[in-house]
């Protein structure tokens, strides 16, 4: 399988390096694209894609987006008309019109849009019970330095102690913190939806890790999950490992038992 990568940040770089150092895998790099051309200078010339308009000539079977929701909005339909697409910027799906257009494109061209579970654990329980859950809440705790405030109206320098900076429907937080709450968007899509799933985002200067808590309730049934993960930038190590594992499952490699 030939993989194209959009975005050579922490996730894209990790995937690129893992594929290159595991030559026994039936995966090869078709191309790498990044708007920052400096990031591409150290790569072999044959994998560099300067213009996304020309990605089809690299013959990818799947394109992995690990950059920004705007990339999904701009290129999603075009990519899905040519091959399968895996997105990390799941917050783009908060745009209901975009979600419909991408689904229509998948149906028209018999392509697939893959959404990896990323930092989420226990997602199977949310999916299995999505028709019965009355409440689903995801709470994320992060140090302000690990949050991107550029799309919000909050000055991170004013946060001196633990503070709730968002509490409401997932759809609302996606536009304010698009790089930080992809796990919230994924949970909502897998469960009871963007408008019914509650998102709580807590900035805590004392933290050196990311904490995610998930709670789902229905009658006498309750699921509670808590995950702690060291973090660098806006992305934790568990997310990197999870994305690569998901990528391997998508390629359907080998025989045997596969728990996905």
Cα distance between residue 35 and residue 135, in whole Å: 40
Q: What pLDDT, on the 0 to 100 scale, is given for residue 260?
A: 45
Mean pLDDT by 10 residues, the chain (260 residues): 96 94 90 94 95 96 96 98 95 97 95 88 92 97 96 96 99 97 95 98 96 96 92 72 87 45
Task: Answer for the pair 82, 22: CB distance below 8 angstroms, yes or no.
Answer: no
In 3D space, the residue among 60, 110, 56, 120 whose CA is nearest the CA of residue 88 turns out to be: 120
| Alpha helix ranges (H) inside the chain | 10-21, 69-80, 96-109, 123-128, 170-176, 182-190, 237-250
Cα distance between residue 99 and residue 215, in whole Å: 25
Q: What pLDDT, on the 0 to 100 scale, is given for residue 256?
A: 38
Residue 226: how many CB atoms within 10 A of its CB?
Answer: 12
Collapsed DSSP state (helix, strand, coil) of residue 155: coil
Q: What pLDDT, on the 0 to 100 scale, is given for residue 252?
A: 63
Q: What pLDDT, on the 0 to 100 scale, is given for residue 236?
A: 67
User: Domain segments of the chain: what residues?
Assistant: 2-115, 123-233
Q: What pLDDT, on the 0 to 100 scale, is given for residue 160?
A: 97
| Whole-structure pTM value | 0.91
Homologous superfamily (CATH) of 123-233 is: Dihydrodipicolinate Reductase; domain 2 (3.30.360.10)
Cα distance between residue 143 and residue 160, in whole Å: 10
CATH number for the region 2-115 comes to: 3.40.50.720
């Amino acid at each position: 399988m030939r993989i194209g990568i959009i975005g050579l940040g922490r996730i894209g770089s990790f995937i690129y390096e893992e594929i290159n150092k595991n030559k026994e895998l039936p995966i090869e790099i078709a191309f790498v694209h990044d708007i920052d051309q400096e990031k591409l200078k150290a790569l072999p010339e044959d994998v560099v894609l300067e213009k996304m308009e020309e990605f089809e000539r690299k013959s990818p079977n799947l394109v992995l987006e690990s950059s920004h929701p705007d990339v999904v909005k701009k290129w999603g339909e075009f990519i899905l008309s040519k091959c399968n697409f895996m997105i990390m910027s799941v917050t783009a799906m908060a745009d209901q019109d975009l979600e419909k257009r991408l689904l229509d494109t998948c149906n028209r061209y018999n392509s697939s849009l893959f959404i990896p579970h990323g930092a989420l654990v226990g997602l199977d329980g949310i999916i299995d019970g999505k028709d019965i859950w009355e409440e689903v809440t995801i709470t994320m705790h992060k140090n302000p330095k690990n949050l991107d405030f550029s799309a919000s109206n909050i000055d991170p320098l004013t946060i001196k102690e633990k503070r709730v900076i968002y509490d409401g429907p997932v759809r609302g937080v996606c536009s304010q913190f698009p790089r930080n709450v992809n796990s919230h968007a994924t949970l909502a899509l897998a469960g009871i939806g963007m408008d019914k799933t509650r998102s709580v985002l807590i900035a805590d200067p004392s933290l050196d890790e990311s904490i995610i808590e998930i709670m789902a309730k229905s009658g006498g049934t309750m699921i509670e999950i808590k995950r702690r993960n060291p973090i660098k930038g806006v992305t934790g190590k568990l997310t990197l490992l999870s994305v690569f594992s998901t990528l391997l499952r998508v390629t359907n490699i080998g025989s045997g038992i596969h728990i996905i």
